[in-house]
Amino acid sequence: MPEPKVLISKKSIKTMGKDIVRVKRSELEVEEKKKDSQKALLEEVKKRKQEEERLRSLQEQGKKIAEQARQKPAFVKTSAGKQEETKKQEEARLDARQAKRLAALQEARKRAEQESAAAKAMADKKEEPVEKPPFVKTSEDKQELLGKRKEIQQEKEKVQEELNSLAQIKKPLDIKKKAILEEIKIVELSFQKTKAKEDEIEQKLSIIEKKEAAAKDPQQRRSLEEKRWNLEKKREEIEKKRWPEDEKLEQLEVKLKGLEKESQGLGAKEQELLSKQKDINKKEQDNNLKIERIELKETLKDIEKSRVLFEEKVNVLFKNNEEAKNNLNVVLTEEKKVEQEKAEIEKKERAAENNLQRRELEKIRWQIEEKRRQIESKRWKLEEEKEKISQELKDSQNRLKLILDKKENISKRLEEIELLLEGKTPAVPQKPPVQAVEQAQAEEKEPKREEKPKEEAKPAAAKSFGEAKKKTREEILEEVEKERITRIEEARKRIETLKKAALERKQRQEQMKKAILPSMARQKLEPGHEKPEPAKEERRAEIMKRLRTPVSIYKKLGKDKADKKEPVKEQPKVPTSEEIIRVVPKKPSFKEKLWVRALVVAATLVILAGILTFWYWYFRIRTSGPVYPPGYEKEKEGISIPTALFDIPDTVIITVSDAKDLLDSLKKTLQTFQPVGQFKRIIVKKEGEIVGVKEFFNMLEVKIPDNLYDSILDEPTMFIYSQSQGSRFGFVVKTSVSAKDLNIILKAAEPTAELDLEPLFSLMGKEGKAVAPYFKNASDIEDYTGPDFRFKTLNQNDLGILYATTDYYFAFSSSSESMENLLIKLQEFLEDKVLINDLKLGDQGKQVSLLQKWLARDLSVDSPGFVSGFYNQETRDHVVRFQEKYATDILIPQGQTKGTGIVDLATRKKLNQLYSGF
C-alpha cells in the first residue's frame, strides 16, 4: 500500500520557518555568550599571572633588602656600644618591615584568588542558556503592526482619492453657482434701476395729484390731468419691462436652490469622508505609537544589558582603584620611613668623630638612597596605574550615566505613549515666568535691606526687631517708616540747635568787631597790622554755608527707606577772625607753563585745520559729482531699479543705444580697476528703460533657449567680480519653475553652450577651444565642500561657464572664485528673506526669527519678546494656528485636519508665497 500523504497548510509552513529562525537565533546567542565567557576567563587568567609576577618581584626585592641588611661592615662590631645598639635597632626595623610586606603580599594573593573565583562563577552563570520567548512575541507583534500600517495607508489613500473625486464633482457645481449668482446680481442691478425710475414717477404723480386737488381753474386742472395720464402711461411701460426681470429672477433662484441642495448632499458626503479620514489618522497614530513602543522596549532591553555590563565594570574598577590606593599608601609609608632613616644617618654623619666612621655612615646612606630610588620608581608606577584606573573608572561612570539617562528618557516616552493610547494628554511641565521669579527674588532681598537700619538704630528699635519678624510685611514697613520720620525730626531739631548756636556766635563776633573798630579808629595803624578786608565777610558766608550742609543731607536721607547712620554729633568749630588762614596757591614751574602753552597751541592748530578742511569740502568736493567713464550715467529720477538679489555695495549704470555701444561699454567696465574680491552691480539702460536678460543677450547676439527665458523672471542682478586673473561677468535671476525642471532645460543646452556664449566670453579673453570637453558637478571635486554647481573650464585663467539652480534663483558666472563667493552671499541673503529650512521645537537662529516676524504679521501677535530667535512652545502654538488658518493649502493636501507645529515644506511654501517675494 502506498504511504498516506501528509498535507501541511501554508500557514503552518510559515510558522515552521519562524520557529527555525527562532531556534537558530537562540543557538547563535548561546555561542556568542560562550565566546564572551571564554574571553572573560582568559583575561582573568592573564590578570592573575600578572599579579603573581608582581608578587614574585616584591618577594625578590624583600630578599635583596634583607641580604643587604645582613651584610653590614665589620667595623660596627669593633665600634662603640652605641653603634652596636643602632645596628640591632636597624635589623629589628628591617625584620618588622619584611614581615609586614610578606603579610601584605599574602593578603593580595588571597584577594586575587577570590576575585578570579568570583569571575569564574559569573562566567559559569552567563553560560546558562537564556530563554527569549518575549523577544519572539514582540517581533511577531511588530510584523503584525507593520502589516496594519500598510492597510491603514491603503485606506487613507482610498479616502483621499474619494475626497479628490468629490472635489472634482463639486468644482463644476461651484462654477455654475458662481455664474447664477453673477446673473442674479446683474438682474438685481437692472431691477433697482427700474425701481428707481418707478419711484421717481410715483413721486411726480403724488405732486401732480396734490396740485390737482388744490386747483380751482378747470383749464389748469385739465393740463394737470393730461400730465398725470402721461406719467401713468410711462409707469405702465416701466412695470411691463420689469415683469420679465421678475420671472428671470425667480427662475435663477429656483436653479440656485437646486444647486444648493446638490451641494449640500456632496457636503454631507464630504463631511462623512473627513470624519472617516480623521478616524483613519487616529488609527494610524495609535498603530505608529504601538510600533514605537515595541521598538523602544527592544532598545530598553539592549540598554539594560549595557547597564548591567557597565555596572559590573564600574564595580571591578572601583575595587581595583581601592587596591591601587592601598598599594600606594603602603609604598608611601615605606618611603616616609626610608626618609626618616636617611635623616637619622645624616644626623649621625654630621656627628661622626673620625673619617672612618663617616665613610661607613656614607656607605649606609648610599644604600638607603638607592633603596629610596627604588621605592620612588615603584611609587611612580603605582601612581600611573592608579591614574589610569581612575580615568577608566571616570569614563565608565560617565558612560553608565548616559545609559541611565537614555533609559529614563525611553521610560518617560513609553509612559507618554501609554497615555496617548489611552486617549489622555501627557502633562507638560511648565517653567514659571521670568517676571514671577524676579519678583520672588526681590521679595527675598527686601527684608535683608530692611534689617540693616534696624540693627544700626537705637536700642528700642533693636528690641522690637524680634517681634517685627512675626508681623506681616506691611506692618514692618509702617514701623520702619515711623522710625524714619522720628529720626528725621530729631535730626531737624539738632540742625535748628546748630543754627541757633551759629547765629549767637555771629552776633558775638559782630559785637566784638564793633567794640574793636572805635579804638582802632582812634589809634594809628601799626605796620604789623592789616586793614579789615571784605574777603572776610565772604569767608564767614562760606562757613555758614558749611554749617547749613547737614540740612540737605538729612532731606536726602528722609527720601530713602534705608536710613544711614547719624551725622557726626560734634559741633563744627567756627574759626575766629584770627584763625582764618589764606591758602596761597603754589606757583607753577617753568616746565608746567611750557607744556600748557604747547597744548593750547596744538589745540588751536587742530581746530583751525578742521575748519579749513570743512570749508574745502563744502565749496570744492561737495559740489563736484562722481566721475563716470564714457557711457556711464547716474540713476535718474522716475526710473525704478529692481532690488539686488544679494548684498552688493557698488553699482554702475550704463546707458546704451545699440549692440555696439553695449559691447564697448561692457568691455570698458571689465577693464576698469576694481579691488580684488569685490562685486560691482551693472545696470544697463536703453531709451530710459532697464534692459532685462533677454534683451541683453539679444543685443550681444548670444543664443539662449526660449524655454529658459520662460522659466526665469526678467529682472536680473548683473555683476562684475574682480579677481587676480581679471574681471568676470555674471548674473542672478529669480525662477518661476522648480530647480528640477530648470536643470532639465540647462542640461539640454550644455552641448552648444560654449558656441552660443562665444560673444560674451570673447570680452573676457577667451581664445581657442575649451580645456574641458564637457560639464561637471562641483561636488565631484575632492576637496570642495560648498554648494553644488555645474561648470565647464574654458582656460587655465579661471575662466569657464558655471551655473547653479535652486527653487528660488538661477545663478550664472564665468569663474569658480566668483561662483563660490556668489553662492555664499546668496545663501546669507536667502536666510534673511526666505524660509529654506524645516523648523521645529528647540531650533534657533535667523530662520526662526524670520518665521516669528511673519507669524506676528499674519496672526497679529502682540506679545513682547515673541521675536526671540528661539522656537519655543509659544511659537509652536502660533504655527499650529497658521497651519489651521490655511488648512486648504497646508493640511488637507497632506490628509490632515490639525496643525502639527512643525514648519515643513508645505508651511514654508505658504509663508514664502505670502511674505518673501520669491
Q: What count of other Cβ atoms lies within 10 Å of the Cβ of residue 821?
A: 19
Please, which pLDDT band fits residue 135 given cuts at 50, 70 and 90?
very low
**Residue 84: its pLDDT value, please?**
60
Is the pLDDT score of 749 beyond 50? yes
With cut-offs at 50, 70 and 90, classify the pLDDT of residue 321: confident
Q: Which of 743, 823, 832 is nearest to 785 (CA)?
A: 823
pLDDT tops 90 at residue 603: yes
Between 336 and 263, the more confident residue is 336
Which stretch of 1-15, 57-71, 313-327, 851-865 has the lowest confidence by average pLDDT?
1-15
pLDDT reported for residue 802: 94
Q: What is the pLDDT at residue 550?
A: 44
- Percent of the chain exceeding pLDDT 90 equals 7
Residue 78 has pLDDT above 70, yes or no: no
Q: Can you give the pLDDT at residue 219?
A: 83
Strands 679-686 and 650-656: parallel
CA distance from start to end of the chain: 85
In this prediction, residue 540 carries a pLDDT of: 60
Beta bridge partners of 685: 655, 690
DSSP SS3 for 793: strand
Confidence class for position 581, pLDDT limits 50, 70, 90: low
User: Which phi and psi angles does 764 have, rounded to 5°?
Assistant: -105, 15
Q: Write out pLDDT tens, residues 244-296.
A: 877 877 888 888 888 888 888 888 888 888 888 888 888 888 888 888 888 88
CA distances from 617 to 230, 607, 625, 626 (A): 87, 16, 12, 14
In 3D, which of 825, 766, 828 has the Cα closest to residue 801? 766
> Within 13 Å of residue 352, how many CA atoms lie on the same side as its CB?
16
Average pLDDT score over residue span 914-918: 76
Inform me whether the pLDDT recorded for 470 exceeds 60.
no
CB 373: neighbour CB atoms within 10 A?
A: 11
What average pLDDT does the segment 352-363 reach? 85
Residues 6+ apart with CB under 8 A from 118: none
If phi > 0 it is left, if psi is from -120 to 50 it is alpha, else beta; for residue 701 that is left
The three three-digit cell numbers of residue 773, written as one number: 570637453
Least confident segment among 25-39, 350-364, 437-451, 794-808: 437-451
The set of residues, in sequence order, having a beta carbon less than 8 Å from that of 475 and lying 6+ positions away, is 468
Q: What is the pLDDT of residue 542?
A: 57
**Cα angle value 268/269/272 (rounded, 5°):** 90
Q: What is the rounded distance in angstroms from the CA atom of residue 869 to the CA atom of residue 849?
A: 4
Residues in Cβ contact with 79 at an 8 Å cutoff, skipping those fewer than 6 apart: 357
Cell numbers 576698469 label which residue? 672
Higher pLDDT, 876 or 170: 876
Closest of 425, 686, 460 to residue 468, by C-alpha: 460
637: left (phi over 0), alpha (psi -120 to 50) or beta: beta
DSSP one-letter code for 779: G
Please, which contacts does 439-446 make with residues 24 or more away whose CB atoms are closer than 8 Å? 446/473
Phi, psi of 2 (to 5 degrees): -70, 150
| Largest Cα span, the chain | 184
Which run of H or E residues covers position 651?
strand 650-656
pLDDT category of residue 680 using cuts at 50, 70 and 90? very high
Residue-wise pLDDT for 106-132, tens only, equals 666 666 566 656 655 555 544 444 444
When mean pLDDT is compared across 76-85, 195-204, 605-614, the lowest value belongs to: 76-85
How high is the pLDDT of residue 609?
92
At residue 22 the predicted structure's pLDDT band, cuts being 50, 70 and 90, is low
Please state the rounded mean pLDDT for residues 489-513. Answer: 72
Tell me: pLDDT of 567 over 60: no
Nearest to 379 by CA among 337, 340, 324: 324
Q: Residue 108 to residues 52, 111, 114, 376, 896: CA-CA distances in angstroms?
A: 10, 5, 10, 21, 70
Overall average pLDDT of the 171-185 stretch: 82
Q: Which residue has the higher pLDDT, 101 or 136?
A: 101
Summarize the confidence of residues 23-43 as an average pLDDT: 69
Residues 6 or more apart whose Cβ sits within 8 Å of residue 729: 666, 670, 718, 719, 720, 760, 763, 764, 813, 814
Instruction: Write the DSSP string, 225-260.
Output: HHHHHHHHHHHHHHHHHHHHHHHHHHHHHHHHHHHH
Mean confidence (pLDDT) of the chain: 75
- Phi-psi region at 610: left, alpha or beta (left = phi > 0; alpha = psi -120 to 50): alpha
How confident is the model at residue 524, as a pLDDT?
42
Say whether pLDDT at 138 is over 50. Answer: yes
Average pLDDT over residues 701-730: 90
Which residues lie closer than 8 Å to 884 by C-beta, 6 or more apart?
A: 891, 898, 899
Q: Cβ neighbours of residue 760 under 8 Å, at least 6 residues apart?
A: 697, 700, 702, 729, 814
In this prediction, residue 24 carries a pLDDT of: 63
Cα dihedral 151→153→155→158 (10° resolution) = -140
Contact 681, 652 (CB under 8 A): yes
- The whole-angstrom separation of Cα 645 and Cα 617 is 35
Q: H-type helices in 523-616, by residue range?
A: 535-559, 590-616
Q: Report which of 710, 730, 711, 712 is spatially closest to residue 720, judged by C-alpha positions.
A: 730
Average pLDDT over residues 356-379: 88
Q: Tens digits of per-residue pLDDT, 504-560?
A: 777 776 666 555 444 444 444 444 444 444 555 555 665 555 444 444 444 444 444
Confidence of residue 790 (pLDDT cuts 50, 70, 90): very high
pLDDT in tens, 815-843: 999 999 999 888 888 887 888 888 888 88
The predicted-structure confidence for 231-243, as pLDDT tens digits, reads as follows 888 888 888 877 8
The answer to whether the CB of 224 falls within 8 A of the CB of 212 is yes
Residue-level pLDDT at 859:
75
- H-type helices in 565-688, by residue range? 590-616, 659-671
| Helix (H) or strand (E) run with residue 718 in it | strand 717-723
Name which of 357-371, 390-404, 608-622, 630-644 the model is least confident about. Answer: 630-644
User: Would you say residue 7 has pLDDT above 70?
Assistant: no
Locate cell 527684608: which residue? 447
Q: pLDDT at position 224, please?
A: 84
Q: How far is CA 896 from CA 145, 151, 342, 840, in A?
A: 22, 18, 87, 18
Top mean pLDDT of 457-466, 573-582, 885-894 is at: 885-894
Residues in Cβ contact with 879 at an 8 Å cutoff, skipping those fewer than 6 apart:
851, 855, 899, 901, 902, 903, 907
Specify the pLDDT at position 99: 61
**Whole-Å CA distances, 56 to 61, 113, 714:** 9, 16, 90
